[in-house]
Amino acid sequence: MCIRYLALIPPTPFIRGGAKKCMNFSTRTTYGLRAMIRLAGRKGPESLSLPNIAKAENISLGYLERLFSDLKKGGLVQSGKGVKGGYKLAKPAERIEVYEIVKSLEGKMSPFHCLDEGGKIYCKVSCRCGATKVLIKVQEAVKKTLKGIKLSDLVA
């Protein structure tokens, strides 16, 4: 998901055919969120299988499997193999921040760097150029927002 769409375009009705780019999260995050919402929506203690979720959400199974690998590493879900296997939340939805979900799905990337006059690559340690100042403030705002939303808030 690119910041531009987030910041620039108000939530307007969809216009079919008019959109080449979207202002969604990446499908990675979108899929992961929606799958987590499904898990959170379960009543009983039974697990929900990935083929089940993939079908319901129309997501490719292989892709979803990798997302859940990340969610599990992030400590957000528990898994069980076998016929009655599947996934369930590792803790109550009330105690899962959306921030944690996004972090698990997208967060193991790179440290912080930026362009600099010296060349295309890269920045000095602790660079604080103008673009960076902006970045830091936006970063803080997004983080705070994501931390303020619990998974349970998203269950219909």
Partner DNA sequence: ATAAATACCTACTAAAATAGTGTGTATTAG
Partner DNA sequence: CTAATACACACTATTTTAGTAGGTATTTAT
Question: Which residues lie near DNA (CB under 7 A)?
Answer: 2, 20-22, 26-28, 31, 47, 49-52, 59-60, 62-63, 65-66, 68-69, 72, 79-87, 120
**Binding of residue 12 to a second copy (CB under 8 A):** yes
Minimum CB separation of residue 24 from DNA in Å reads 8
Contacts with a second copy: how many residues (CB under 8 A)? 82
CA distances from 49 to 36, 80, 111 (A): 12, 9, 34
Q: Which of 28/97 has CB closer to DNA? A: 28
Q: List the single partner that 152 binds among DNA, a second copy, none, CB under 5 to 8 Å by kind.
A: none
**Binding of residue 61 to a second copy (CB under 8 A):** no
Return the C-alpha torsion angle 27, 57, 105, 93, nearest 10: 140
Residue numbers 20-59 binding a second copy by CB under 8 A: 20-27, 29-31, 33-34, 37, 56-58
Spatial distance between the Cα atoms of 156 and 153, rounded to a whole number of angstroms: 8
79: which strand partners?
A: 87
Burial class from Cβ neighbours inside 10 Å (0-12, 13-18, 19+) for residue 156 reads exposed
Minimum CB separation of residue 50 from a second copy in Å reads 16
Structure tokens belonging to residue 92: 């109550």
